Chains A and B, each alone.
Chain A
Amino acid sequence: MSSQAAEPDTVRSLDDLDVIVDTDFHLTERQADIFPYLEDPFYSLLNSQGEGDDYGYLGRVYPAHGMVYSVTVGKADSPTVRTSEDVQKGKDLIEWDKAIATPTQNLYLAAVHHDDLAAALARAYNKWLLDNIVDTDEGVYGALVVAPQKPIKAAELVDDFADESGIAAVMIPSGSVHPPLGNEDYYPLYEACERAGLPIKMHNAAGTMMTRFPTQWQSLNRALPVHVTSHNMMHQVNLADMLTQGVPVRFPDLDFVIQEAGLGWYPYFMRRFDHDYMGAKFDAPMLEKEPSEYLRDQFYVTSQPVEGADDPEYLNSIVRLFEGENSLMFSSDYPHFDFDYTDALMKILRSEFDGDEIKNIYGETAEDVYRF
């Protein structure tokens, strides 16, 4: 974008950037946009029912997430992006040079309770996308959306549309996919993407992720994916609900200890929750301070298993980021197969944390938390 950068290694503003690519520029397509592109039998079936409600998926083909949230109640605007003119408005605001348009309603496609209809909707969405949105002269590219319920049809779709101008990727609406995306059912789709030279984007929708979580867990037929994800995911769900419902406010003298889930997700979770809370105080009205402050004041984390033990810079920074000098407590998990020997963590942390802080992590904090 800039003509002549005096200091080429310094980026002080957008003007110092050569190109800006928005890799997840959302459209807000409605059923009404897509239905005219449906193939039979669904065109005749669904278009005979009238136009339906404006927002589309409420109580109709696409499942709704049921949340009362800033956009739903009108506190945030979330402009519609359904035409080239709408895209241009977004481009003017965000100042990208290129963008890959991804859907909104069709993030819910994997949760549509009719596999063949889902596949037909994917095909219709992509036709609508190409007809109305994609414009390479304006840097507007598209991601082909496929229905993971029908991997063979998804592969056929990629074969049929991949050569269309402006198609930059394939997007799997990955929230609630069942089985999870490692299953061999999806290999034909992956092969088609490979044939087409298109990358695969995976994008969840918050409202769909949990709809199949228990059955997804059962479909993880190996130990690794279960062990890597389950602990921290379950903790995140529980903590998010406890904070939103004001549990630490109702029980201010109560401490909570989070165990055996690794550490890196924890500073992430604090910041992600604070970030969302900033625009939705009304959804957690019990809280009197930012969510992360409750976590720092009333919640504790035990150490084992510690990921990134071979990367002291990572581990030290992670522990600092959640103020682990006050809330991290050593644990070994002995005799489980992945137990930590007593000084393994200390050898790393002592390069960053002083003696008092190490003492906290190794026992002083536990002395305060537990009633010994």
Chain B
Amino acid sequence: MAANDESQSTGTADNLHHVTSVDDVDDGERVVVDVEGREIALFHSNGEFHALSNYCTHQGGPACEGLLTGTIDVDEDDELVWACDDEIVSCPWHGWEFDITTGEHLASDKYRLPTYDVRVIDGELYVEF
């Protein structure tokens, strides 16, 4: 997922869509852009870039504009622990949580935000579809 290495790019000019420059998205930040009519959020998190649809599968809220945080999990002793820091985005409408690295909804595998591969070419960010 989100192989951000130029050398891994298999994209062609037709399916690569320029988003912005790498320098414009510091680690921990995100941009939401309109690409060919699709609202796509591009996250820079923990050194990786991830791109997801900004349309919540629940009721259509701007899922990727919500809080970027972690979640509570349980360890092997059933103790509550903080997990996935800065990798969980919560839709601001109803708090539905998605893993930005996979698009998966935390509570149910019936729901998932579409994700896009991100390419870094000459310091520029592209999404592929």
Q: B60-86 toward A: CB 8 Å interface, digit per residue (1/0)?
A: 000000110101111000101000000
Check A282–B93 contact: CB distance below 8 A: no
Assess whether B13 is interfacial by the CB under 8 Å rule: no
Check B78–A286 contact: CB distance below 8 A: yes
Check B91–A76 contact: CB distance below 8 A: yes
Check B72–A70 contact: CB distance below 8 A: no
Check A281–B74 contact: CB distance below 8 A: no
Top 10 nearest A-B pairs by Cβ distance? A70-B95, A76-B95, A75-B90, A77-B92, A279-B95, A75-B95, A281-B107, A281-B106, A282-B72, A282-B71
B3 to A: closest C-beta gap in Å: 28
Q: List 18 A-B contacts (CB under 8 A).
A: A70-B95, A71-B95, A73-B69, A75-B69, A76-B91, A76-B93, A77-B66, A77-B93, A246-B74, A278-B96, A278-B111, A279-B95, A281-B97, A281-B106, A282-B71, A282-B72, A283-B72, A286-B74
B73 is contacted by which of A70, A278, A285 (Cβ under 8 Å)?
A: A285
Q: Which residues of A contact B (CB under 8 A)?
A: 70-71, 73-77, 246, 250, 277-283, 285-286, 290
Which chain A residue lies CB-closest to B107?
Answer: A281
B:74-129 near A, CB below 8 Å: 74, 78, 80, 90-97, 105-108, 111
Interface size on B, residues (CB 8 A): 23
Which chain A residue lies CB-closest to B65?
Answer: A77
Number of A-B contacts (CB under 8 A): 60
**A73–B71 Cα gap in the complex (Å)?**
11
Check A279–B67 contact: CB distance below 8 A: no
Q: A278-B58, A281-B107, A286-B74 are in contact. Are A70 and B80 (CB under 8 A)?
A: no
- Contact residues in B for A77 (Cβ distance below 8 Å): 66, 92-93
Which chain B residue lies CB-closest to A68?
Answer: B72
**A290–B111 Cα gap in the complex (Å)?**
12
- Contact residues in A for B67 (Cβ distance below 8 Å): 74-75
- Contact residues in B for A279 (Cβ distance below 8 Å): 94-97, 107
Which chain B residue lies CB-closest to A76?
Answer: B95
B95 to A: closest C-beta gap in Å: 3
Check B90–A76 contact: CB distance below 8 A: yes
A158 to B: closest C-beta gap in Å: 35
Which chain B residue lies CB-closest to A289?
Answer: B108
**A246–B72 Cα gap in the complex (Å)?**
14
**A277–B107 Cα gap in the complex (Å)?**
7
Which chain A residue lies CB-closest to B96?
Answer: A279
**A283–B106 Cα gap in the complex (Å)?**
12
Check B94–A70 contact: CB distance below 8 A: yes
Q: Told that A74-B67, A76-B94 touch, could you supply 20 new A-B pairs with CB distance under 8 A? A: A70-B95, A71-B95, A74-B69, A76-B66, A77-B92, A246-B78, A250-B78, A278-B58, A278-B94, A278-B96, A278-B105, A279-B95, A279-B96, A279-B97, A280-B95, A280-B107, A281-B107, A283-B72, A285-B80, A290-B108
**A73–B88 Cα gap in the complex (Å)?**
13
**A277–B91 Cα gap in the complex (Å)?**
14
**A278–B61 Cα gap in the complex (Å)?**
14
**A75–B107 Cα gap in the complex (Å)?**
14
Check B90–A70 contact: CB distance below 8 A: yes
- Contact residues in B for A280 (Cβ distance below 8 Å): 95, 107
A206 to B: closest C-beta gap in Å: 15
Which chain A residue lies CB-closest to B72?
Answer: A282
